[in-house]
Chains A and B, each alone.
Chain A
Amino acid sequence: GAGVSQSPRYKVAKRGQDVALRCDPISGHVSLFWYQQALGQGPEFLTYFQNEAQLDKSGLPSDRFFAERPEGSVSTLKIQRTQQEDSAVYLCASSQLGGTFPSYEQYFGPGTRLTVT
């Protein structure tokens, strides 16, 4: 079946521009996670949704970062007034069940590589 898809795969933005990154999770998956992956590092947690509810946004680095999942499926990560330090790969992952089930694997999308110039 279809996996997690993300678009665009690559995005170049000039410093100060706003960007929107899209994630289509596996159909029916309750949980959706956003991660930021710097070069040579592991993914770092940004935020988590259970259906349409954003239950944890503790990893968002600043108030320029905003995520939504209005209908409990597709999610968008928005970064306002991009800075050079925002350059990274942004990964989305979905999981079958919600919150209290850390025993369920997360399925990752291929990521969006954001470069801020």
Chain B
Amino acid sequence: QQPVQSPQAVILREGEDAVINCSSSKALYSVHWYRQKHGEAPIFLMILLKGGEQKGHDKISASFNEKKQQSSLYLTASQLSYSGTYFCGTADSWGKLQFGAGTQVVVTP
């Protein structure tokens, strides 16, 4: 069952903050976040692992609540380059990811 993302879309002005949420109905081993621009490959942003380990880019922050099976991605002081569709992928075992439907982010000048 795919994770549920919210909101579906968000419009920001440059410099504003936003939070994207991802929740699953099943126990998770890891949560992966990707950003995809139109017509391009999804780009890896971050992995959050059960137990608290995180791997990703310095300018991106996220949280993973294992008990609630939820993750949040924080876009801080947004830049124009942050525009795109953000996907969370959840893994309960060997790495097979199930992706949410995506959150479209538009950052305006």
Residues of B that sit less than 8 Å from A by CB: 2, 29-30, 32, 34, 39-44, 47, 49, 53, 55, 87, 89, 91, 93-102
In the bound complex, what is the Cα–Cα distance between A106 and B17 (angstroms)? 27
Known contacts: A105-B47, A106-B44. The answer to whether A48 contacts B96 by CB under 8 A is yes
Q: Are B93 and A102 in contact (CB under 8 A)?
A: yes
Docked pose: A33 CA to B94 CA in angstroms: 12
Identify 8 residue pairs between A and B in the complex whose beta-carbon atoms are under 8 Å apart, listed by A's number.
A42-B87, A42-B99, A44-B99, A45-B96, A45-B98, A101-B94, A102-B97, A106-B95
Residues of B within 8 A of A111 (CB): 41
Count of CB-CB pairs between chains A and B under 8 Å: 69
Q: Which A residues have a C-beta under 8 Å from some C-beta of B?
A: 3-4, 31, 33, 40-45, 48, 56, 91, 95, 99-111
The answer on a CB contact under 8 Å between A105 and B32 is yes
Q: In the complex the two chains form, is B94's CB within 8 Å of A4's CB?
A: no
Query: Which residues of the other chain, B, contact A91 by a CB distance below 8 angstroms?
Result: 41-42
CB of B58 to closest CB in A, whole Å: 15
CA of A16 to CA of B34, assembled, Å: 34
Query: Which 5 pairs, one residue from A and one from B, show the smallest C-beta to C-beta distance?
Result: A42-B99, A102-B91, A102-B95, A108-B41, A105-B44
Q: Hey, which chain A residues are within 8 Å of B93, CB to CB?
A: 102
Q: With A42-B99, A45-B97 given, is the CB distance from A102 to B29 under 8 Å?
A: yes
Starting from the known contacts A31-B95, A103-B30, 10 additional A-B residue pairs (CB-CB under 8 Å) come to A42-B89, A43-B89, A43-B99, A95-B95, A99-B94, A102-B29, A105-B32, A106-B32, A106-B97, A110-B41
Contact: A42 with B100, CB < 8 Å?
Answer: yes
Known A-B contacts A91-B41, A105-B47; A100 and B32 likewise in contact (beta carbons under 8 Å): no
B94 touches A102 (CB 8 A): yes
B100 cross-chain contacts in A, Cβ below 8 A: 42
